[in-house]
Amino acid sequence: MKCIVGLGNPSLKFKNTRHNLGFAVIAKLAEKLEVSVQRARFKGLYAKTSFQGESIVLLQPLTFMNNSGYSVAEMVSFFKCDLQDILIVYDDLDFAVGKLRFRMKGSSGGHNGMKSIINQLGYSEFPRLRLGIGKPEFKRVDYVLSRFSEEEQIIIDKVIDTAAEGALCFAVEGIDQAMNKYNIDLD
């Protein structure tokens, strides 16, 4: 079983913001897999399905970004997920808009959602997919909660679709193949 978690903040006011790219990828995956991420559990919304013989859980934590770890830990405990079978999808200030990177492990990189997950799991060696949102020209909190410009949105739409394809590659072929095929710049 593979578990794919997209980080974001609940509430319509955060929809389509830079910080909600993880949620957008989960929505795109749900569309591709023809499922609805509406079942409430694990302090979030989830769906369970299969793709090419692999069971897949999609999760959107509803704990707000800074407490995402509580939701992820509940999911891991319930499904007895191997941490190498979890993919966390989230926004990254260190990458330009259009860049996406799969990694096998790493630190939180200052991302509060990732800090929470690492703290709750007590482990940082799990796959992740980082999606570039660019560096802020103004206050960081305001920036991550802002929307993309029209020009950026064209790139981000491609990133979301490519990230969803990459997440399915991860689910079926593993993190090495996802890194080889999808670590690209789309700007």
- Say yes or no to pLDDT of 187 above 60: no
Pairing of the two strands 128-132 and 184-185: unpaired
Q: Between these two residues, 11 and 184, which has the higher pLDDT value? A: 11
Give the pLDDT confidence score for residue 136 in this predicted structure: 80
Give the pLDDT confidence score for residue 169 in this predicted structure: 97
pLDDT digits (tens, 9 = 90+) for 159-172: 999 999 999 999 99
**Mean pLDDT of the region 105-124:** 90
- Say yes or no to pLDDT of 140 above 90: no
Give the pLDDT confidence score for residue 12 in this predicted structure: 85
Q: For every residue of the chain, which 3-state class applies, written as one string?
A: CEEEEECCCCCHHHCCEHHHHHHHHHHHHHHHHCCCCCEEECCEEEEEEEECCEEEEEEEECCCHHHHHHHHHHHHHHHCCCHHHEEEEEEECCCCCCEEEEECCCCCCCCHHHHHHHHHHCCCCCCEEEEECCCCCCCHHHHHCCECCHHHHHHHHHHHHHHHHHHHHHHHHCHHHHHHHHCEECC
Catalytic residue among 19, 28, 128, 130: 19
- Say yes or no to pLDDT of 2 above 90: yes
- The answer to whether 19 is a known catalytic residue is yes
Give the percent of the chain with pLDDT over 70: 98
Domain that holds residue 94: 2-185
Give the pLDDT confidence score for residue 144 in this predicted structure: 86
What are the Cα distances from residue 91, in Å, to 25, 33, 55, 185?
Answer: 11, 22, 25, 15
Could you tell me the pLDDT band of residue 109, with boundaries at 50, 70 and 90? confident
Task: Tell me the average pLDDT of the chain.
Answer: 92
pTM recorded for the entire structure: 0.93
Q: What is the CATH number of the domain that holds 106?
A: 3.40.50.1470
**Mean pLDDT of the region 140-145:** 82
Distance from C-alpha of 139 to C-alpha of 141, rounded to nearest angstrom: 6
Number of structural domains in the chain:
1
- Say yes or no to pLDDT of 122 above 90: yes
- Say yes or no to pLDDT of 115 above 80: yes
